């Protein structure tokens, strides 16, 4: 992993000419200073802007997004707060049927196009959400620390390191032209090692979880590579991937898709492998006489419950992310076969199934490794031969003989007492 990081470490993302499309455009922070109402009839009569400024954010009546003639439009004055044009103002017309309505005092993001005419250089593209997002992140951090205490603090540190690896290694290395699959495997391995050892400590238990996660990641990589190629998935299915391909045509988009599958599966894999390893260790603490077969059988029963919930969680997570797309197919009244065969949905199906196979496989693999490591401390012992433990029984050892005889003798004594009372 260290060698991979050293060899693939990028010198920074290569520069390119801005296209002015999507995220690849200059932007500045701005504030809506004034909003006044005016008749949409006058707006339409003047070609979308009675002041001659930029048309409405998100479209104007002049370009076919017909506003109601008798509705009230708004003219918003926006002040640029950052950049070389700080303090400059411009106006935009907001139609009543637009999804984004501007309000006085609202913080917004504006796009800047220097080659456009002066009165059309700026336009509102989004709302500035930094304050609510920062507050939500703060609440999340407080909750994690209050509940997890020192482990919660270490988890937040590991999360920060994961973002650093993603931003300073994985993304720039892919943009430089390195193989996305190799970059994803090396980066995911680094994230996994740092996160697991930092949160759970240097121990045999953590090492077993690491090994189980690595084996499952390799399986996911192999299956993903085979089925992405077999299903002829290009990875270039929307505006964002199309823009990436246009700016950096040397990037293997199908490899980028596979890299996403590996990184997306890593978080859930960590949860499964750590849980299974902890379950085996706790079973051993409850019944030290159990050998590796008994530990494996008891651990795998716990794992089956975990499999059912995790697979369902993964499928619902992908379905939730693709919900708008699924709604479009539903509106078009397309058959299930047609929907599943489209590349947009096929990508999500392959992503979900490959990740789920890796998750399911991680349970027996990690459980077997954990059972072998625990049993290695007590050579010659095994579950079927353990005193008081039947084959595959994960329950605690049989209670002492005195406790049994006391319980058995208690019932006759209770009966004799009742007879004496009568």
In tens, the pLDDT along 3-55 reads: 667 767 776 655 656 555 556 678 889 999 988 888 777 666 555 544 444 44
In whole angstroms, give the CA distance from residue 251 to residue 128.
Answer: 31
- Reduced to 3 states (helix: H, G, I; strand: E, B; else coil), residue 88 is coil
pLDDT above 90 as % of the chain: 11
In a 13 Å sphere around the CA of 215, the CA atoms on its Cβ side amount to: 18
The pLDDT of 312-324, averaged and rounded, is 72
Q: Determine the pLDDT at residue 398.
A: 38
Let me know: does 50 contact 26? Beta carbons within 8 Å: no
pLDDT over 60 at 84, yes or no: yes
Let me know: does 264 contact 351? Beta carbons within 8 Å: yes
- In the block, residue with structure tokens 């699959």: 181
CA distances from 202 to 153, 158, 207, 322 (A): 17, 15, 8, 39
pLDDT above 70 as % of the chain: 76
pLDDT over 80 at 247, yes or no: no
Token pair belonging to 251: 């990037």
pLDDT-based confidence at 286, cuts 50/70/90? confident
Q: Which residues pair with 111 in a beta bridge?
A: 27, 123
In whole angstroms, give the CA distance from residue 387 to residue 375.
Answer: 16
Which region, left, alpha or beta, applies to residue 68 given φ > 0 means left and ψ of -120 to 50 means alpha? Answer: beta
pLDDT-based confidence at 97, cuts 50/70/90? confident
The CA-to-CA distance between both ends of the chain, in Å, stands at 80
- In the block, residue with structure tokens 């044009």: 85
In whole angstroms, give the CA distance from residue 117 to residue 114.
Answer: 8
Instruction: Please give the torsion angle defined by the CA atoms of residues 372, 373, 375 and 379, in that order, rounded to the nearest 10 degrees.
Output: 100
Window from 58-72, 202-216, 296-310 with minimum mean pLDDT: 58-72
pLDDT over 50 at 57, yes or no: no
Average pLDDT, the chain: 76
Let me know: does 32 contact 100? Beta carbons within 8 Å: no
**Pure H helices in 235-392:** 239-247, 253-286, 292-321, 323-331, 336-341, 343-375
Helical (H) or strand (E) element with 248: none
The pLDDT of 279-289, averaged and rounded, is 88
- Reduced to 3 states (helix: H, G, I; strand: E, B; else coil), residue 395 is coil
pLDDT over 80 at 377, yes or no: no
């Amino acid at each position: 992993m260290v060698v991979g990081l050293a060899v693939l470490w990028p010198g920074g993302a290569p520069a390119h000419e801005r296209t002015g499309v999507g995220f690849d455009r200059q932007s500045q922070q701005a504030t809506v200073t004034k909003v006044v109402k005016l008749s949409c009839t006058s707006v339409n009569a003047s070609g979308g802007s009675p002041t001659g400024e930029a048309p409405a954010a998100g479209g104007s009546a002049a370009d076919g997004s017909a506003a109601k003639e008798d509705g009230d439009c708004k003219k918003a004055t926006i002040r640029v707060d950052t950049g070389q044009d700080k303090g400059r103002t411009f106006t935009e017309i907001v139609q009543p049927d637009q999804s984004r309505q501007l309000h006085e005092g609202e913080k917004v993001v504006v796009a800047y196009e220097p080659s456009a005419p002066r009165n059309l250089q700026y336009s509102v593209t989004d709302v500035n959400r930094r304050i609510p997002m920062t507050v939500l992140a703060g609440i999340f951090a407080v909750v994690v620390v209050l509940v997890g205490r020192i482990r919660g603090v270490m988890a937040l540190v590991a999360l920060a390191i994961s973002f650093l690896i993603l931003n300073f290694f994985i993304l720039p290395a892919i943009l430089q032209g390195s193989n996305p699959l190799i970059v994803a495997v090396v980066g995911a391995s680094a994230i996994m090692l740092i996160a697991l050892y930092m949160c759970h400590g240097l121990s045999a238990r953590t090492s077993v979880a690491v090994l189980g996660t690595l084996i499952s990641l390799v399986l996911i990589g192999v299956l993903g590579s085979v089925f992405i190629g077999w299903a002829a998935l290009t990875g270039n299915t929307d505006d964002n991937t199309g823009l990436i391909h246009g700016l950096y045509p040397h990037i293997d988009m199908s490899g980028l898709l596979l890299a996403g599958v590996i990184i997306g599966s890593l978080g859930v894999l960590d949860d499964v492998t750590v849980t299974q390893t902890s379950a085996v260790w706790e079973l051993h603490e409850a019944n030290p006489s159990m050998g590796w077969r008994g530990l494996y059988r008891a651990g795998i029963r716990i794992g089956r419950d975990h499999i059912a919930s995790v697979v369902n969680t993964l499928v619902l997570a992908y379905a939730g992310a693709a919900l708008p797309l699924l709604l479009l197919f539903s509106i078009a009244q397309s058959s299930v076969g047609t929907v599943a065969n489209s590349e947009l949905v096929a990508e999500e199906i392959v992503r979900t199934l490959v990740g789920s196979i890796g998750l399911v496989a991680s349970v027996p693999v990690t459980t077997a490794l954990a059972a072998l490591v625990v049993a290695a401390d007590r050579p010659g012992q095994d579950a079927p031969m353990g005193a008081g433990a039947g084959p595959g029984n994960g329950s605690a050892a049989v209670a002492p003989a005195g406790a049994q005889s006391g319980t058995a003798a208690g019932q006759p004594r209770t009966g004799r007492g009742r007879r004496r009372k009568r």
